[in-house]
Amino acid sequence: MHSVAVNTWFGISIAALVSGVTVWLAYRKRCRSCKRHPNADGWQHLGSLKIINFYPVKGGAPLRLEQVECAEFGLHLNGLWERCLVAYDDSGAVVFAGSYPRTLSIRSVIVREKVLRLEAPNMPSIIMDLNELLREPYQVLEKGNKRLVECRVEHHEWLSRAVLQRESGLKFYVKLKASKGKVGDFFPVMVMHERSVYDLNKRLSGQNKPVDCQQFRGNLVVDSNTDVQPYNEDNWMWLKIGNDAECSTIMSYNSDCLRCILINVNVEDYTRNPDFEPLRTLKKYRLRQSTKEPSMGVYFNVYKCGLLKIGDPIYVQYI
């Protein structure tokens, strides 16, 4: 019995080691393939830009856009930057929609330059004026690698009511943009390949509703050509969006997007899938860079800033 137990333990250990080494080698291969600059003549037509999502509130609902500026640290619109508003709970942890699903119900309306109106079901709206909140002098708080400016008491109360349905418990902060050359915790642009989501839906059991690209909360959704296979994004190194030499945007691979329980939350009714889908299915075949978190979607750095528009052609250079 002792020998059997030892052999079993040894077998499990070896399997875990092989799995870990496989993931590590795949990651190292991607890193070694990284080039500092794209090949001027190496672009291949990939498809077109189908959806642009802009998230002023981390964990909140997206603004669907027809066009947007793509700057060094991601999408910019009317003086606002991606996830410029972030919430923390009383324990000091970032409010994560996987743990606080009703965060997904917070919708943003741009009123004017650096001014948002936030809306949530069964709640009066509230104005978030970043011009006022960031009026000098303001106090900067540092939490980890984030630089934050606390919002006002009325903003905290509104957020707590919208998400927790009580008067306190959460606080809103403005997350300042990273300093030049310091990325911090910013992942500039997350790109989804629609064909990969179609393939995932084929794998989900019939008892589960198909998932939409919106469930993965990407910034950009690629509608690829018919000859492009699902998960072709595993080999994207560079993307160029647009034909115009001056306005086109060029991005370079940063990392795979590793998925967690958030994708099990329905973005329409904010309920969790009782079967832990689609995360459970993804774990069966997409553990590329982690032994626990599957890959779905790709983060890109902005190499050349530009203007993104729905319908823009997209070109790719592969590893």
Taking only the tens place, the pLDDT of each residue in 187-200 is 689 999 999 999 99
The DSSP code for 254 is E
* Backbone phi, psi, residue 193, to 5°: -105, 115
Of 21 and 64, the structure prediction assigns the larger pLDDT to 64
Give 173-230 as a DSSP string. EEEPPPPTT--TT---EEEEEHHHHHHHHHHS-TTSPPP-GGGGT-SEEEEE-TTPPT
Strand order in the sheet with 306-309: 80-81, 74-77, 67-71, 306-309
Give domain limits for the chain: 34-51+186-318, 85-175
pLDDT band at residue 20 under the 50/70/90 scheme: very low
* Backbone phi, psi, residue 79, to 5°: 80, 0
pLDDT of residue 1: 53
Give 114-175 as a DSSP string. TEEEEE-TTS--EEEEHHHHTPSS-PPEEETTEEEEE--HHHHHHHHHHHTSSS-SEEEEEE
Q: Residue 19 pLDDT more than 50?
A: no
Residue whose structure tokens are 């002792």? 2
CATH class of 34-51+186-318: mainly beta
